[in-house]
Amino acid sequence: MKVTIQEKHVDITKEVDVLIVGGGPAGIGASVAAARSGSSVMLLEKRGFLGGNITGSYVENCNHFFFGTDFKADGIYAEIETKYFMKYGRSHDIRINSPIRFSSEYLKVFLDEFLTSEGVEIKFHSFVNDVIVENNTIQCVIIQSKKGPLAIKAKVVIDCTGDGDVAFSAGVPFEQGRDLDGLCQPGTLNFRIAGVNVKKLTDGGDKLKEIGKKFKEDYRAGKTGLNCKRQDLPFGRLTAGGQVSYINYPCSYGIDPTDVDDLTKGEMECRQYIMEFYEYAKTHFEGFENIELASIATEIGFRDSRRIKGLYRLTKEDIEADTKFEDVIAVYPKFYDMLAPDAFMDGDGKMEGLGYKGHIFVPVEGDKSYRIPFRSLIPVNIDNLLVAGRCISADHVAESTIRGISACMLTGQAAGGAASIACKDKVAPKEINIKELQGFLITQGVNLPKEI
Ligand SMILES: Cc1cc2nc3c(=O)[nH]c(=O)nc-3n(C[C@H](O)[C@H](O)[C@H](O)COP(=O)(O)OP(=O)(O)OC[C@H]3O[C@@H](n4cnc5c(N)ncnc54)[C@H](O)[C@@H]3O)c2cc1C
């Protein structure tokens, strides 16, 4: 059975140069870059706060991949980190030898102030799943608001939804999941606990790390009896007040991040895992005897979903070879981190068998890095749309590294700069002077190869 959605006439609420959809890492980078290069900028976000997975899924440990290596974040991410830590310090974290993490609650406030001060007009509670396309150009983006649809017109639109929702609405072809069966990495519902015994967890070292290690051994030995297939147990900040700011554990495998039924299943399944884990932790982990479940993340978080078909598809081979691109817009340390899409847990983290034998985890090695070309941000069939963040044009294994939060902010930053140049020069983003974009990015603290 089918129904017809009736035609509606909607006033254009606003016209801007650059419209960004999605206020996560990519959307933050894109908005700031576009505003700094002189465009009028509006940012639409379906939630009531910025930060994407960092704040919405408690992914506060953004740059743990770099920890202990010579790599440092660059661009707007580095600027945000510096300014945030000048204001909020280590966010109450008393774990020793730990990477610096945000508090997602402070970060929400910080980002409100930061983006507003940069001149970005923010609209929260603005879900987008429709656009009007004529002549391969997005004429208007439609917000599904409480008061019905609202239309926003923009010269260039940047899709930073993580799931490529705008691109999908505009008819951009995409891939999703691995080639084999379309499976994505699992969805994860991080949660917080309060009431741990701080003294027990800090006496003589970082006991949380030891608990995580022992948990994995016990899981592998079949001793936990827990139903969730995840074996790793990364803990977040430990505060003097006895809060563990996230536990990155409950995973729902085999679900489609763009399907409402799968999302519903994933949320409920993860909440069951949280309750099982909570009971287990109380009785098995020293220092957890009096814990309380403090909060569960706003919604289940994803590391990958749609990946658009762009003018260039970045591949694992490009990353391995550090392919040189004339239109390079970001350089990122080489690592891969892909949670087993089918919950096969007996792998050893290596890439063999195309990495589909369990969780691929290849850490940063020495000074090895790779480059991301601007063309991976340009959809094949829509002239005034750019895409940034985890849904750019890449193969599934390559996505497991470009999904790094600071990488998403870098692709966002490039998209924002490119959109502004396109508006100024009255050309499509794919026609901009790439040297001008690269020059702009360098002035904004992005480390690009010397030879460009
Ligand atoms: C549990 C978990 C742990 C992770 N651990 C790490 C880690 O340690 N380090 C790391 O670097 N990365 C990690 N990642 C990956 C990282 O969080 C993501 O790759 C990154 O946040 C992607 O950034 P993004 O801006 O592309 O998308 P997102 O962070 O997903 O942000 C997208 C934003 O768009 C909004 N949005 C979505 N659809 C719409 C719509 N239709 N209309 C309006 N707004 C919309 C969302 O609300 C959100 O704010 C982890 C991810 C998860 C889920």
Q: Following DSSP, what letter does each residue of 119-141 receive, concatenated?
A: TEEEE-S-EEEEEEEETTEEEEE
Structure tokens at 195: 């009431």
CA atoms within 13 A on the CB side of 69: 19
pLDDT for 357 beyond 70? no
In the chain, the amino acid numbered 20 is I
CA atoms within 13 A on the CB side of 258: 21
Structure tokens at 305: 């979903």
Expressed in angstroms and rounded, the spacing between residue 246 Cα and the centre of ligand 1 is: 16
- Helix, strand, or coil (residue 336): strand
Mean pLDDT of 143-164: 97
The DSSP bridge partners found for residue 192 are: 295
* Residue located nearest, by CA, to atom 21 of ligand 1: 53
Task: Determine the pLDDT at residue 354.
Answer: 52
Task: Determine the pLDDT at residue 346.
Answer: 76
* Residue located nearest, by CA, to atom 14 of ligand 1: 303
Mean pLDDT of 298-325: 98
Mean pLDDT of 222-249: 96
Q: Which residues contact 86 (CB under 8 A, 6 or more apart)?
A: none
* Residue located nearest, by CA, to atom 34 of ligand 1: 22
- CB of 306 within 6 A of ligand 1: the answer is no
Please check whether residue 125 is in contact with residue 146, taking contact to mean a CB–CB distance below 8 angstroms: yes
Mean pLDDT of 345-374: 83
- CB of 307 within 6 A of ligand 1: the answer is no
Mean pLDDT of 391-410: 97
Mean pLDDT of 46-74: 94
- CB of 239 within 6 A of ligand 1: the answer is no
Q: Which residue has the tokens 């603005």?
A: 126
* Residue located nearest, by CA, to atom 27 of ligand 1: 162
Q: Which residues contact 220 (CB under 8 A, 6 or more apart)?
A: 231, 345
d(CA 387, CA 415): 7
- CB of 401 within 6 A of ligand 1: the answer is no
Expressed in angstroms and rounded, the spacing between residue 167 Cα and the centre of ligand 1 is: 16
d(CA 95, CA 110): 23
Q: How far is CA 205 from the centre of its chain?
A: 31
Name the maximum alpha-carbon separation found in the chain. Answer: 67
Q: Among 108, 169, 303, 387, which residue has the most ligand 1 atoms within 8 Å of its CB, making it the best to mutate?
A: 303
Task: Determine the pLDDT at residue 388.
Answer: 99
* Residue located nearest, by CA, to atom 4 of ligand 1: 59
- CB of 123 within 6 A of ligand 1: the answer is no
The DSSP bridge partners found for residue 134 are: 137
- CB of 59 within 6 A of ligand 1: the answer is yes
d(CA 68, CA 62): 14
Expressed in angstroms and rounded, the spacing between residue 55 Cα and the centre of ligand 1 is: 9
- CB of 22 within 6 A of ligand 1: the answer is yes
Task: Determine the pLDDT at residue 348.
Answer: 77
Distance (Å) of CA 373 to CA 266, 278, 440? 34, 44, 15
Q: Among 60, 405, 409, 413, which residue has the most ligand 1 atoms within 8 Å of its CB, making it the best to mutate?
A: 405
- CB of 403 within 6 A of ligand 1: the answer is yes
- CB of 45 within 6 A of ligand 1: the answer is yes
pLDDT for 22 beyond 80? yes
pLDDT for 355 beyond 60? no
Task: Determine the pLDDT at residue 315.
Answer: 98
Please check whether residue 228 is in contact with residue 266, taking contact to mean a CB–CB distance below 8 angstroms: no
User: Which structural domains are found in the chain, ordered by start?
Assistant: 12-180+304-443 (3.50.50.60), 187-296 (3.30.70)
Expressed in angstroms and rounded, the spacing between residue 204 Cα and the centre of ligand 1 is: 35
- Residue-averaged pLDDT of the chain: 96
Mean pLDDT of 352-370: 81
Expressed in angstroms and rounded, the spacing between residue 404 Cα and the centre of ligand 1 is: 9
Expressed in angstroms and rounded, the spacing between residue 15 Cα and the centre of ligand 1 is: 27
Q: What confidence tier does 112 reach under pLDDT thresholds 50, 70, 90? A: very high
Mean pLDDT of 81-96: 95
Q: What confidence tier does 144 reach under pLDDT thresholds 50, 70, 90? A: very high
> 180-207 pLDDT, tens per residue?
899 999 999 999 999 999 999 999 899 9
> 23-59 pLDDT, tens per residue?
999 999 999 999 999 999 999 999 999 999 999 999 9
* Residue located nearest, by CA, to atom 15 of ligand 1: 303
Nearest in space to 388 (alpha carbons), one of 398, 380, 378, 401: 378
Mean pLDDT of 12-17: 97
| HEC per residue, 230-297 | CCCCCECCECCCCEEEEECCCEECCCCCCCHHHHHHHHHHHHHHHHHHHHHHHHHCCCCCCCEEEEEC
φ, ψ of residue 145 to 5 degrees: the values are -100, 170
Task: Determine the pLDDT at residue 356.
Answer: 61
Expressed in angstroms and rounded, the spacing between residue 389 Cα and the centre of ligand 1 is: 8
- Residues comprising the chain, all counted: 452
d(CA 396, CA 356): 11
- Helix, strand, or coil (residue 361): strand
Expressed in angstroms and rounded, the spacing between residue 23 Cα and the centre of ligand 1 is: 9
Mean pLDDT of 63-80: 92
Expressed in angstroms and rounded, the spacing between residue 303 Cα and the centre of ligand 1 is: 7
Atom of ligand 1 nearest to the CA of 165: 41
% of the chain exceeding 70 in pLDDT: 99
Expressed in angstroms and rounded, the spacing between residue 419 Cα and the centre of ligand 1 is: 22
Distance (Å) of CA 92 to CA 17, 38, 95, 236, 386? 40, 37, 9, 11, 38
Q: Which helix (H) or strand (E) holds 114?
A: helix 104-117
Task: Determine the pLDDT at residue 444.
Answer: 98
- Helix, strand, or coil (residue 400): helix
Looking at residue 186, what DSSP letter applies?
Answer: P
* Residue located nearest, by CA, to atom 20 of ligand 1: 405
